[in-house]
A and B are shown apart, each in its own frame.
Chain A
Amino acid sequence: MTDVAYIDRPNRPLYVYAIGYLAFLYIPVLFLPMFSFNDNIYITFPLKGFTTQWYVEMFKDEPMWAALNNSLRVACVSSTIATLLGLLGAKAVTRYQIPGVKPIVFIIMLPMVIPLIIMGVALLILVTRLGIDLSLYTIGMAHVLISVPFAMATLISRFEGFDKSMEEASLDLGAGPWSTFWRVTLPIVAPGVLASFLLCFTISFDEFLMAFFLGGTEPTLPIFIWGKLRFPFRLPGVLALGSLILMISFVVVFISLRLRRWGVEDTQSGI
C-alpha cells in the first residue's frame, strides 16, 4: 500500500504522452533558431558549423527593417483601436441593459469564426468598389475587424469577473460616472486592457491573408518574409529574423497570460 493520494500517484503513460505532445508542438519551432546559426545557405542536415553571419546580414537588410516598421505601425494602431472598441463594447454589454444584447455580441464575435480568406476577398471587393487605395491603412482596418472579437472576449471576462458594486460604491461615495470610470473601473480592468492589447498586437503582427489581399506597395513583415522564401540564399536571414520574433512573441504571450490572471483573485475573493 502507498500513502500517496490516488490523484498524486505517478502515471507513466501520461508522462510519455505529455512528452510526445510537447515534442510534436515545439521541435519544428526549434529548428528555426538551430538553422539560423548554421553555416550553410541550404537548410539541410548535417549542420555545418556555428555562425552569426545571418544575424549580421539581417541587421543590414534595409527593406526588411522597412517591413518590420510597417508591421509594428499597423499592429500598434490596430491593437490600440481594437482594445478601445473592445473596452467600450465590453462595458456596454456587461453593465447596461441593452435590448437584443445577445445577437449584438454574436455579430461582434462572428469574425472570429469566419474564414479569413473569405473575409479577405470580401474586404478586397468592398475596398476596391469604394475606390479606396490599398495601403497600410486598409490592412490596419482589416486587422481591427479581426481583433475586436478577441479584445471583446478578453475584456468581457474581465468585466464579468469584477463586482458591479465596486462601481456603485464609487458613485455612492460621491464620484460621478466619469470619475468612477477613471478611479475604479479602469484600474480594475487594466490588466485585461493590457492583455487585450498584447493579444491584438500579436494577431495583427503575424497576420498574412489580410495583409496579402489588402496590402499596397508597402509590405508588412509576413508578406516580406513570404516574398523571400522564393530565393534560397535569402532564407537564412529569414530564419534569423524568425528566431528573434519567436523569442519576443514568447515573452509577450507569457506576459499577457500573467496579466490576464493578475488581480482577478483580489476582486473575487471578496465574499
Chain B
Amino acid sequence: MTNNSMTNNDAFVSLADVSKHFGSVVAVDHLSFTINSGEFFSLLGPSGCGKTTVLRMLGGFESPTTGEIYIDGAPMSEVPPHHRPTNMVFQSYAIFPHLNVRANIAYGLRYDKIEKAEVERRVEEALEMVKLPGFGKRRSNELSGGQRQRVALARALIKRPKVLLLDEPLGALDKKLREEMQLELRALQESVGITFIFVTHDQEEALTLSSRIAVMARGKALQVASPKDLYNHPVSVEVADFIGQMNFVEAQVMDVRNGEAVLDTAGLGKITAPVNSDFVHKGAAIIVAIRPEKMLLSAERGSDGRATVQGTIKTSAYLGDRNYFYVSVDGCEKPLAVATPEAQASGEKPLDRESTVWLSWADNGLILLPHD
C-alpha cells in the first residue's frame, strides 16, 4: 500500500466546504478534503451517500450549491465540463453507438488541435494500452462489457486529463473479470501517473485499489484515510461497520492510566485496552470494536495470560481459506464473529454447534470508538 504523505501544499484537487442540494434533498453536506497529485483516491459509501454527486461536480455536470472545487489551483465553478482538465469514465460507459471504437477514442482529440497523423498514433497507442489492438473498427454492440469499459477508459485517457473520474466502472462486470480489471486499473494508474478519483460502493474494491479512501454517508465524509488506517483505526462505529467485518461491545471506562484504559464491558467482563484518542476518559460510555480475525477460538481455557471469555457456538460458515464462527456470549447483544484459519478449525476436537468455547484476544487488537 502506498501511503502518501499528506501535506496540504501537495493538494491537487480540493473541495472547500462543498454542498449540493437537490430541492430539499441535501446530497452533499459541507464536504472538504484534498486529493494529491498522482493519487488513486476512492469515494466509498452506500448508494445515496453523495459520492456520485461529488464526482459529477468534479466533472462539471452539477454545480455546487455552496463551496468551491479547485483543480490544480484553479477554481472550477465557472468552468463548463468541456473546458475542465478532467475526463470521466461513466458507469454505463456511454460509448457512442453510431461510431466505431476508433472514432469513439479519437472523439475528444478534435478539440485539442492535434495533427491527423498524431491522432492516428495516439489512438493506436491507446488501444495498445487498454489491450484492444485491432478492435478499432468494431461498434459498441460488438463489444463485451469488459471491452466497452476499456474503450471508455482509452477514450478518457487519450485526452491526457489532469484528473480521471471513474463512476463505478467495474460495477457491471462479473466478479472474476472485476478482480482482473482492478489489477489492470491499478497498474494503468501507476504507469500513466494521472490522479484517479474512483467512486464505488464495494469496500473490498476500494481497499484493493486506493491510496486513500473517503468513506461517505449522508453527504458527509466520515473518514479520509489510507486503506490500512481505515481498517485498523476507524474513527467511528459507522466506518468500522462499513469496512470489513467488526464486532461491537458496549463498555464503560473505569479508569485511564499509563496509556491504558480499564473497561467494564457488556459481555467481555473487565478488560484493558490501549488508549489512542482523547474521548476515552473516566466514566465515558464507549464502544469496543474487535475484528473477527483478531480473536482466537479454543475448546479449552487458554493459560497464556490473555483475556478470555466463555461462549457458545451458534452458527459457523466455511469460506475455504477460513472459517467463521458466531459465538454467543452472555451480555453481548449479538453473537461475536470469530474468523479462524482453516487449519485451526479442523483440529483434533471438532467445534460443533452449541459447543462451549473460549475466546481470547490481545489487548492491542481492541479498537475504542466513541458511542454515537
A-side interface residues toward B, CB under 8 Å? Answer: 163, 165-166, 168-176, 179, 183-184, 187-188, 263, 265-267, 269-271
Contact = CB atoms under 8 A, between A and B. Distances in A.
B112 interface: yes
B212 interface: no
Interface residues of B, number: 33
Contacts of B95: 270
A265 B95 CA distance: 13
Interface class of chain A by DSSP: helix
A267 B140 CA distance: 9
Nearest to A187: B98
B71 to A, nearest CB: 14
A162 to B, nearest CB: 8
Given A165-B90, A168-B90, A266 B141 contact: yes
A174 B82 contact: yes
B97 A267 contact: yes
A270 B93 contact: yes
A172 B92 contact: no
Pick from B93, B96, B156 the residue with the most CB of A within 10 Å: B96
A263 B99 CA distance: 12
A42 B206 CA distance: 83
A98 B88 CA distance: 27
A143 to B, nearest CB: 31
B322 interface: no
A169 B97 contact: no
26 contacts: A163-B94, A166-B96, A168-B61, A168-B81, A169-B94, A170-B107, A172-B86, A172-B88, A172-B108, A173-B111, A174-B108, A174-B159, A175-B107, A175-B111, A176-B82, A179-B111, A183-B107, A184-B96, A263-B98, A266-B97, A266-B98, A266-B139, A269-B141, A270-B92, A270-B94, A270-B148
A163 B139 contact: no
Interface in B55-110: 59-61, 80-84, 86-88, 90-98, 107-108, 110
A266 B140 contact: yes
Nearest to A166: B94
Interface class of chain B by DSSP: mixed
B183 interface: no
A267 B59 CA distance: 23
A177 B234 CA distance: 44
B91 A165 contact: yes
A183 B110 CA distance: 12
B43 to A, nearest CB: 18
Pick from B87, B94, B148 the residue with the most CB of A within 10 Å: B94
A172 B81 CA distance: 5
Given A169-B88, A171-B61, A263-B98, 6 more contacts: A174-B82, A175-B82, A176-B82, A265-B141, A266-B139, A266-B140
A173 B92 contact: no
Contact of A173 (B60, B87, B93, B140): B87
A41 B95 CA distance: 62
Contacts of B141: 265-266, 269
A263 B97 contact: yes
A90 B49 CA distance: 32
Nearest to B158: A173
A270 B86 CA distance: 23
Interface string B120-146: 000000000000000000011100000
Contacts of B6: none
Contact of A271 (B81, B92, B112, B156): B92
A271 B107 contact: no
Contacts of A265: 141
